[in-house]
């Protein structure tokens, strides 16, 4: 298995090393925030969710098993599940106010970083395009749109375990496609 620095960070966190939590935040927060923002569609709520996710990662660091997958994947799954819980708990849907979102100042990444991200996003889309269309749809629905596995299973008309196999194999194929 390849070297996974975040796995070491989780091991340090499990031992109570607060510096490891800061390292995790520096390394993983941008990606986790992106997951939250995409799913919750509200910047303030995404920021709150990110803080709660970091707390969860801190308290659950001892549960991370590097034999089952990468540390970033584990963190993204926790973030996704937390956002799904928040979406389910909403009493009424939050309307998207595009004009208000446009006025929020972006204190995000530099132009160079954004260009790299766009390039990576294009690579991901190209790799998704190499998958069977139904499997690519399942991956988009689960990991980009935050839909439940049960809902995707119903929408695609496949058994839940088949969907899980598709997702597992599809992510593996994407990972292989994305490797340099």
Over the stretch 130-174, which tens digit does the pLDDT of each residue have? 989 999 899 888 877 778 888 899 999 999 999 999 989 988 888
Over the stretch 22-44, which tens digit does the pLDDT of each residue have? 999 999 999 999 999 999 989 99
Q: How confident is the model at residue 103 (pLDDT cuts 50, 70, 90)?
A: low
Residue 101, pLDDT > 70, answer no
Residue of 71 and 120 predicted with greater confidence = 71
Q: What is the pLDDT of residue 146?
A: 78
Q: How confident is the model at residue 102 (pLDDT cuts 50, 70, 90)?
A: low
Q: What is the pLDDT of residue 5?
A: 85
CB 141 within 8 A of CB 119: no
One of 1.10.10.10, 1.10.1040.10, 3.30.565.10, 1.10.3720.10 is the CATH number of 111-180, namely 1.10.10.10
Domain boundaries, the chain: 1-96, 111-180
Is the domain covering 1-96 a CATH 1.10.1740.10 domain? yes
Over the stretch 40-87, which tens digit does the pLDDT of each residue have? 989 999 999 999 999 999 999 999 998 888 899 999 999 999 999 999
Q: What is the pLDDT of residue 1?
A: 44
Mean of pLDDT values over 1-21? 87
CB 163 within 8 A of CB 149: yes
Q: Can 1-96 and 111-180 be said to share one CATH topology?
A: no
Reported pTM: 0.52
72: buried, middle or exposed (CB in 10 Å: 19+, 13-18, 0-12)?
middle
Q: Nearest Cα to 151, choosing from 164, 162, 137, 141?
A: 141
Q: What is the pLDDT of residue 16?
A: 92
Note the Cα 55 to chain centre separation in Å.
16
């Amino acid at each position: 298995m390849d070297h996974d620095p975040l796995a070491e960070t989780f091991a340090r966190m499990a031992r109570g090393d607060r510096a490891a939590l800061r390292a995790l935040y520096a390394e993983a927060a941008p990606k986790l925030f992106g997951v939250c923002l995409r799913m919750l569609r509200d910047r303030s709520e995404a920021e709150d969710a990110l803080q709660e996710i970091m707390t969860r990662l801190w308290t659950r660091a001892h549960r991370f098993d590097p034999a089952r997958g990468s540390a970033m994947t584990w963190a993204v799954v926790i973030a996704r599940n937390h956002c799904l819980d928040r979406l389910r708990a909403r009493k009424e849907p939050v309307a998207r106010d595009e004009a208000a979102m446009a006025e929020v100042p972006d204190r995000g990444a530099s132009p160079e970083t954004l260009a790299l991200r766009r390039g990576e996003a294009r690579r991901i889309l190209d790799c998704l395009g190499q998958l069977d269309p139904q499997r690519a749809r399942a991956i988009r629905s689960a990991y980009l749109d935050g839909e439940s596995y049960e809902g995707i299973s119903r929408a695609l008309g496949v058994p839940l375990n088949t969907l899980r196999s598709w997702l597992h194999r599809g992510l593996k194929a994407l990972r292989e496609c994305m490797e340099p």
